[in-house]
Amino acid sequence: MTDKPRLRFAPSPTGYLHIGGVRTALFNWLWARKTGGAFVLRIEDTDQERSTPESRQIILDSLRWLGIDWDEGPEVGGAFGPYTQMERLAIYAEHAERLIREKKAYRCYCTKEELQAQREALKAKDPKAEFKYPGTCRDRADQPDRPYVVRFKTPSEGAVVYRDMVFGEVKTPNSAQQDFVLLRSDGIPLYNFGAVVDDITMGITLVARGRDHMVNTPPQIMLYEALGARLPGFAHLPMMLNQKGAKLGKRDGAVSVFEYRDAGFAPDAVLNYLVRFGWSHGDQEVFSKADLIQAFGWDACGRGDGKFDPKKFLAINHEHLKTSRLMGDDDYARSTLTFLEKREGLVGVSLERVKAAAFMIRERATTFVDAAERLDFVFRDEPVFDADAVKKTLTAEAVPRLQGLIGCLEPAAEWTEAALEKAVTDHVAGSGQAMKDVAAPARVALTGKTASPGLFQVMFVLGRDATLGRLRKAAAIAGGA
RNA sequence: GGCCCCAUCGUCUAGCGGUUAGGACAUCGGCCUCUCACGUCGGUAACGCGGGUUCAAUUCCCGCUGGGGUCGCCA
């Protein structure tokens, strides 16, 4: 084994990939990429009630969409596999047996029901009291032929102290712990045990995860020690909270990666927004993926929880969409294309045409959904007219203005943005009109809306025939035809 | 309630003893302008409270208050 860092992301396949999970994956991934270490993906599917194959696939697809690739894990393999916990049951059993043999763990025959009854009895007596497993089976010598769980013999004295890479020294008294369960009665491990055994056997050197896991670290450290394993580093990340300041959950609007994908966000923009939760780099707000790998470090991680802000997220996405350094023209066109293809009734949509038209909406569109909508008029035989816009601008007095414009454009020798602008500007000035009076009906004629890209860009992209055709049609509408 | 953690503009944050407390998003004005944007100029807006330590605290220490996490045969 080398001394290169080995990090992991270990989601449970119980639903969509949550953006909080993405943030965790991202920090691990960034550090692995920065250091040349390994990023391991492990599926923790030991919750048989909630884990589904569909969810597992969603997680893999989400990470791939984000561009977070794993060096070892599902569909990739690796020397420390399998990377799915339900395929590692024998490994957990073996480790549990060893702990039992060494008297560091024991078989507990108390049933779930018995424990639940004890829990409720205590609650009835003292609602504030904390229930702890009383150690009923801790020292029993017999081995009845009944189902049992394996419990860890937690030391009651002393404390666990560790140095967290972002929070510094954390000290927890052992009295806060109890004899927690390692293995269920069906032989499936519980989180702390499964995670530790895997992290040991997979050679994980740094565990970075959300702060909600901080409470798991002391018992996990006890397990490392009991198993005689070398301790990894620990880095806990502050929480992402909703706007009300509570843990981000399903009720808090878009929280799954796919919702952002479907809303037309760029993967790098998602990473850019999420990385700023708990990490900063001076005053820099905008980062490409390469920037992040270059700049990331644990030193610059903060400890305060953050509240999710959809507005800033959108702004960061907008920044990524309009900046060619962050997203190349080809990628931009390809993404826009996929959203155009979802729209009904469009004609002539092709990557080439999208690429040729995209320049006029890039600085305007905040998402790819927005981009597709702004480009909609380009890919129709006739624009979709906004009724209010027509009523407001295609009036009787617009008729001569449109006709004048048509007259000025018909003889145009050169159909370029600059030539069109000059021709129209000269025509408007020469006829004593105001540009806005001519532009307003022309805009609605060409795009169907009162808001659009620059008029001359629109004319250029539409081309001579479509431009003149739309203007004539609008003149007819305005004339009451 | 026990244990753990946190605390700078509304939000994300910079700050690592001496600053007019900076940036970004949001917000409010102005400019630009064929609309919408972009861009640009400017404004409003923060160190939770109380003790220490120090010549000097946003910064270091303690307490308080406030907030969050977690207390399962979930992860």
pLDDT tens per residue across span A349-408: 999 999 999 999 999 999 999 999 999 999 999 999 999 999 999 999 999 999 999 999
The two tokens of residue A197 are 């055994």
Give strand ranges (E) for A335-481. Answer: none
Which residue is catalytic, options A4, A123, A250, A391?
Answer: A250
The two tokens of residue A449 are 């809306």
Left if phi > 0, otherwise alpha if psi is -120 to 50, otherwise beta: which for A158? left
Left if phi > 0, otherwise alpha if psi is -120 to 50, otherwise beta: which for A173? beta
How far: A313 CA to B72 C1' (Å)?
36
Among candidates A357, A337, A361, which has minimal Cα distance to A453?
A361
Give the pLDDT confidence of A27-47 residue by residue, as tens digits: 999 999 999 999 999 999 999
Q: Is the pLDDT of residue A96 over 60?
A: yes
How far: A436 CA to B31 C1' (Å)?
19
Dihedral in degrees, nearest 10, Cα atoms A420, A365, A337, A56: 170
How far: A436 CA to B33 C1' (Å)?
10
What is residue A481's predicted lDDT score, i.e. its pLDDT? 61
**Predicted structure pTM score:** 0.96
Task: For residue A74, give the amino acid letter.
Answer: P
Evaluate whether A225 touches A160 at the Cβ level (below 8 Å): no
Q: What is the CA radius of gyration of chain A?
A: 31
Task: For residue A40, give the amino acid letter.
Answer: V
Q: Which nucleotide's C1' atom has the smallest distance to the CA of A131?
A: B71
Give helix A19-35 / helix A53-66 axis angle, nearest 10°: 50
Distances (CA, A) of A443 to A201, A372, A397, A454: 66, 18, 15, 9
Q: Is the pLDDT of residue A2 over 60?
A: no
3-state class (DSSP) for residue A167: coil
Give the pLDDT confidence of A320-355 residue by residue, as tens digits: 999 999 999 999 999 999 999 999 999 999 999 999
Evaluate whether A236 touches A166 at the Cβ level (below 8 Å): yes
How far: A337 CA to B34 C1' (Å)?
28
Nearest residue to nucleotide B73 when comparing alpha carbons to its C1'? Answer: A184
Q: Is the pLDDT of residue A253 over 80?
A: no
Q: Which nucleotide's C1' atom has the smallest distance to the CA of A193?
A: B75
Annotated catalytic residue A250:
yes
Evaluate whether A71 touches A84 at the Cβ level (below 8 Å): no
A331-335: long-range contacts (C-beta < 8 A, 24 or more apart)? A332/A358, A332/A362, A333/A358, A335/A264, A335/A266, A335/A368, A335/A371
What is residue A124's predicted lDDT score, i.e. its pLDDT? 82
Q: Which nucleotide's C1' atom has the smallest distance to the CA of A44?
A: B75
Mean pLDDT, residues A8-16: 96
Among candidates A89, A109, A86, A88, which has minimal Cα distance to A13?
A86
Q: Which nucleotide's C1' atom has the smallest distance to the CA of A192?
A: B75
- Chain B footprint positions (protein CB, under 7 Å): 1-8, 10-14, 22-26, 33-38, 67-75
Evaluate whether A184 touches A243 at the Cβ level (below 8 Å): no
Q: Which nucleotide's C1' atom has the smallest distance to the CA of A302?
A: B13
Give the pLDDT confidence of A450-477 residue by residue, as tens digits: 999 999 999 999 999 999 999 999 999 9
**Half-sphere exposure (Cβ direction) of A431: Cα atoms closer than 13 Å:** 18
Provide the 8-state DSSP code for A54.
H
Q: Is the pLDDT of residue A104 over 90?
A: yes
CA torsion through residues A300, A301, A303, A309, sign: positive
Tell me the CA end-to-end span of chain A in Å, nearest whole number.
Answer: 81
Provide the 8-state DSSP code for A84.
B
Instruction: Match 């769980």 to its residue by tokens.
Output: A149
What is residue A254's predicted lDDT score, i.e. its pLDDT? 78
The two tokens of residue A434 are 């105001």
Average pLDDT of the residues of chain A: 95
Residue A183's contacts (CB-CB under 8 Å, 6 or more residues apart) are A92, A93, A96, A149, A150, A189, A190, A193
How far: A304 CA to B68 C1' (Å)?
9
Residue A476's contacts (CB-CB under 8 Å, 6 or more residues apart) are none
Please, which pLDDT band fits residue A246 given cuts at 50, 70 and 90? confident
Q: Could you count the other beta carbons within 10 Å of the beta carbon of residue A324?
A: 11
What is residue A84's predicted lDDT score, i.e. its pLDDT? 98
Edge-to-edge, what's the strand order for the sheet holding A206-210?
Answer: A38-41, A6-9, A206-210, A233-237, A159-164, A168-173
How far: A327 CA to B23 C1' (Å)?
24
The two tokens of residue A331 are 């990628």
Q: Is the pLDDT of residue A251 over 70?
A: yes
